[in-house]
Structure 1
């Protein structure tokens, strides 16, 4: 199942990571941009913005591979009023267009267009909501729960905050510490909210198993039981990554710990997404 669903794993994580990076960039420039001159703003913005565009574009390409016949992607655009898939594709395209134009302006015209980045951030967050809605409106027991949105937006926060902490290395000491501390707080709160929501999710799964009137197949529930160890290990890895990044922020100069913690967070999100798409 993992092999069959790898385009969706790549697609969702790349797009959500791209959105998270764009949101963090926008917030940094919005609240701390006055401390940077025009050249510093462009230098700070350019590389991560290009990475966000490339990640989003590669994610969209990966999503077409899941369709079997990639040209069918155009047919999915015809049902915006009734299809979450159509809405997701349209908002993803609008998001990528906004961020792409911002990247072109920064690269060739040396202009940082914050309103365009903020617009892209809003479009990206709407796209992630539509992405979650695709799966919550299925008949897969393990997906038809608010947990799907928690996991998707949680990945946006985790990957975006990781990017924010990595990006802060190019800022001045005072601003770097402020950005890193804020990003770490976002990451920690996002993880805590997701963990608290897991109690509701597990209760929902238990009731689904005991229900006498079930309209969805039981195979995902059995699969979840088999993957419970990997699921728990993924959460442990995520918390370890956050702890390492927190230690790096407090130590201020421990760059290797920043890299290691960030890699652990991203690896945990990949494993959690593997579990998610295996439960189908």
Structure 2
């Protein structure tokens, strides 16, 4: 399939935003429980991961363009183009995240304000990214389900990163770890249920489109969607299994790393399968 650059790009950027969101949230919750240096030691590795993932995602996205060196031309119609807006907000997101990471590396000081701004810009970026496809001419994308799936990936992958950030820092206060771990698991379960509950509404929309005269030349998204039923089913089963594993990874006062590894792997595989089905329109 020739859409691998878009699959990699969207998942990497959404994972980056999710890591930044959960890192920022955890720092806000731990405001009185950790001193400045402890916050920096906790957040810096995941800020670096988020920055690298976002930068790699943007680099991969240029592979989808016919002439990558002319990518800057996509910025010419900000007032009317969701693509232009997405590029601008992605760049601003990485700029603020990169500045915050650089300050933490050089001055040994963590700027929560920069992380908060980066988180907000990341949310707007993912909204613009979703809007590109919702406002396209591909019938399987032109639904609120696209927003839900993209933001669902942000929260799912962010929750995974949050649990790992707690698992690799055993010296954090146990009450804080418990609160953050339970919050991450609860959000993961909630967003997974929301995504699942939206599917009947989405299927009803596609059924009505099937009975209309919708034509998306030269693609056949409805036909491709029907052919990938087994892939979607497998993706949802894997995702649910991953969520169940992560739901069980919190044991008494610690995180079970075996279950965390299993659940994390299953969720990443499920997100890749779901995104593959999303972009396969012919």
Asked if TM exceeds 0.5, the reply is yes
8 A Cα contact 2:15 2:153, kept in partner: yes
Aligned to 1:248: 249
CA shift for structure 1 position 11: 0.5
Q: Of 153, 158, 172, which aligns to 1:160?
A: 158
Pairs within 5 Å for 1:41-190: 41-169=39-167, 170=169, 171-190=172-191
Question: 2:32, 2:107 → 1: CA distance?
Answer: 20
- Provide the aligned C-alpha RMSD in A: 1.2
8 A Cα contact 2:89 2:124, kept in partner: yes
Aligned to 1:265: 267
Whether 2:14 is the aligned partner of 1:13: answer no
SS in 2 for 1:57: helix
Could you report, residue by residue, the CA deviation over 1:53-100 in whole angstroms, capped at 9, with x for unpaired residues? Answer: 000000000111111211121001111001000000000000000000
Question: 1:118, 1:147 → 2: CA distance?
Answer: 27
CA shift for structure 1 position 122: 0.5
8 A Cα contact 2:37 2:109, kept in partner: no
Moved more, 74-83 or 63-72: 63-72
Question: 1:246, 1:156 → 2: CA distance?
Answer: 18
Question: 1:163, 1:253 → 2: CA distance?
Answer: 13
Residue ranges of structure 1 left out of the alignment (5+ in a row): none
Question: 2:216, 2:76 → 1: CA distance?
Answer: 28
CA shift for structure 1 position 215: 4.5
CA shift for structure 1 position 250: 3.7
Greater helix percent: which structure?
Answer: 1
8 A Cα contact 2:23 2:162, kept in partner: yes
Residue ranges of structure 2 left out of the alignment (5+ in a row): none
Q: Which runs of 4+ in 1 moved over 4 A?
A: none
CA shift for structure 1 position 175: 1.3
Number of matched residues?
277
Question: 1:165, 1:111 → 2: CA distance?
Answer: 24
**Normalization by structure 2: what TM-score?**
0.95
SS in 1 for 2:274: helix
